[in-house]
C-alpha cells in the first residue's frame, strides 16, 4: 500500500475543507506549521481524516488523529498505521 504524501494530504484538506492560501506555501516548513495556522480547525482535520480513510482504504482512530497538530505529525501517524495494516 502506498504512503500518504504531503501532496495527498493537501488534496484531502482541500476536498474536506476548501483551499487555504497558506497551503500553497510550497516550502518544506509547511510540514511544521500547525493546522490551525494553516487555516484548518479540528473539524476540518476530522473531515480530512475521512477523505484519507477513503483514499487509502484504512480506518484511523478519530481520537488520535484529532490530537495531531501539524502535517508532519499527521503524515507520520497515518503512514505508521498503513504499515500496521499490511
What does the pLDDT look like over 27-79, one tens digit per residue?
557 899 999 998 899 999 999 999 999 999 999 999 999 999 999 999 999 99
Q: Give pLDDT, residue 27.
A: 55
C-alpha cell belonging to residue 74: 499527521
Secondary structure class of 61 (helix, strand, coil): coil
pLDDT at position 57: 92
Q: Choose among 36, 30, 68: nearest CA to 49.
A: 68
CA distance 22 to 54: 25
Amino acid at each position: 500500500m502506498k504512503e500518504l504524501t504531503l501532496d495527498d494530504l493537501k488534496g484531502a484538506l482541500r476536498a474536506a475543507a476548501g483551499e487555504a492560501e497558506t497551503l500553497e506555501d510550497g516550502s518544506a516548513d509547511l510540514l511544521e506549521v500547525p493546522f490551525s495556522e494553516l487555516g484548518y480547525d479540528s473539524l476540518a482535520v476530522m473531515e480530512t481524516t475521512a477523505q484519507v480513510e477513503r483514499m487509502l482504504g484504512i480506518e484511523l482512530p478519530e481520537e488520535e488523529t484529532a490530537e495531531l497538530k501539524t502535517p508532519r505529525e499527521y503524515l507520520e501517524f497515518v503512514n505508521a498505521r498503513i504499515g500496521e495494516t499490511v
